[in-house]
Amino acid sequence: MGFAATRFASAPSPIFSAWPPAKGAGLRKLLKNQPLVSPDQAFSIVGSRPHGHIELVLGAFRRLALPALLDGSASPQRARPCSP
The predicted-structure confidence for 52-76, as pLDDT tens digits, reads as follows 888 888 888 888 887 777 777 777 7
Residue at 26 is within a domain: no
Looking at the predicted structure, is the pLDDT value of residue 35 above 80?
Answer: yes
Residue at 45 is within a domain: no
The whole domain housing 72 covers 53-82
Looking at the predicted structure, is the pLDDT value of residue 9 above 70?
Answer: no
Looking at the predicted structure, is the pLDDT value of residue 43 above 70?
Answer: yes
The torsion angle over the Cα atoms of residues 9, 15, 16 and 17, rounded to 10 degrees, is: 80
Residue at 73 is within a domain: yes
In this prediction, residue 68 carries a pLDDT of: 76
pTM over 0.85: no
Q: How far apart are CA 82 and CA 58, in angstroms?
A: 7
Looking at the predicted structure, is the pLDDT value of residue 6 above 60?
Answer: no
Give the chain's domain count.
Answer: 1
Residue at 19 is within a domain: no
Do the Cβ atoms of 26 and 36 come closer than 8 Å?
Answer: yes
Residue at 23 is within a domain: no
Residue at 7 is within a domain: no
